[in-house]
Chains A and B, each alone.
Chain A
Amino acid sequence: MTVRVQTEDFDIGAEILKLRQGNAGIGAIASFVGLVRDLNENTAVTEMVLEHYPGMTEKALAEIAEEAKRRWNLINALVIHRVGPLRPTDQIVLVATSCAHRHDAFAACEFIMDYLKTRAPFWKKEQTAKGAHWVDARESDETATQRWMQHQTN
């Protein structure tokens, strides 16, 4: 399990190569990349700043990855989340999971992402033509997390 919080960009090809190298037991890697959009709630976004809680962020992400490992046959997981100023089209987050088979890889990847959205201490502040504002949490993200609680094993 690897967790990184960083300001710099990441190279998904290089990261996935590192994740799979030297392990012939890996038959499937699923990955998710989250990007900055130029539109949120019908308002044009020119820039975004991501704040986090150093220490707790890494701890929360590691716990989420460990929980995924308890639920599925996960060989390894990688979570990279960027902080600081970001612009539309920039990469924000990468979650990649390696497993023997695709079902575990897909499910664990989605699980980690859903939990990250509601449990990892990051906050987005968007800059628009009307000024800067903190992004409100979405009910649909909490619903997505709750869904996994009703299905302890999958």
Chain B
Amino acid sequence: MVTLLYFSRLRESFGLASEQVELPADVTDVRLLTEWLRQRGSIWQEELAPGKPVRVAVNQDMASPDAAVRDKDEIAFFPPVTGG
């Protein structure tokens, strides 16, 4: 199981702040995980579309699309940050 977190606009669009999911064996990195989530349907496809500025953190570190995802990881999806 991995924990998926959504923040800001993504949390509102998906109507979901967090969830626990079992990843298919072939979902091994951030890019594959994003593609897998897109299959959930329209709003997922739209918000996670290629070219959309979505950031991903794995275990609370900013991660690139080729970063590995493993069992028990905490993976967060969010728009570019706007603090300060």
Interface residues of A (CB under 8 A from B): 34, 50-53, 55-56, 59-60, 81, 92-93, 113, 116-125, 134-138
Interface size class of B (residues with CB under 8 A): 10 to 19
Contacts of A134 in B (CB 8 A): 8-9, 79, 82
Contacts of A53 in B (CB 8 A): 5, 7, 57, 60, 76, 78
- A55 & B60 in contact (Cβ 8 Å cutoff): yes
In Å, the complex CA distance between A59 and B59 comes to 11
- B9 & A81 in contact (Cβ 8 Å cutoff): no
Cβ-Cβ contact count across A and B, 8 Å cutoff: 72
CB-CB under 8 A for A122 and B76, given A51-B8, A53-B7, A134-B9:
no
Residue of A nearest to B60 (CB): A56
Residue of A nearest to B84 (CB): A117
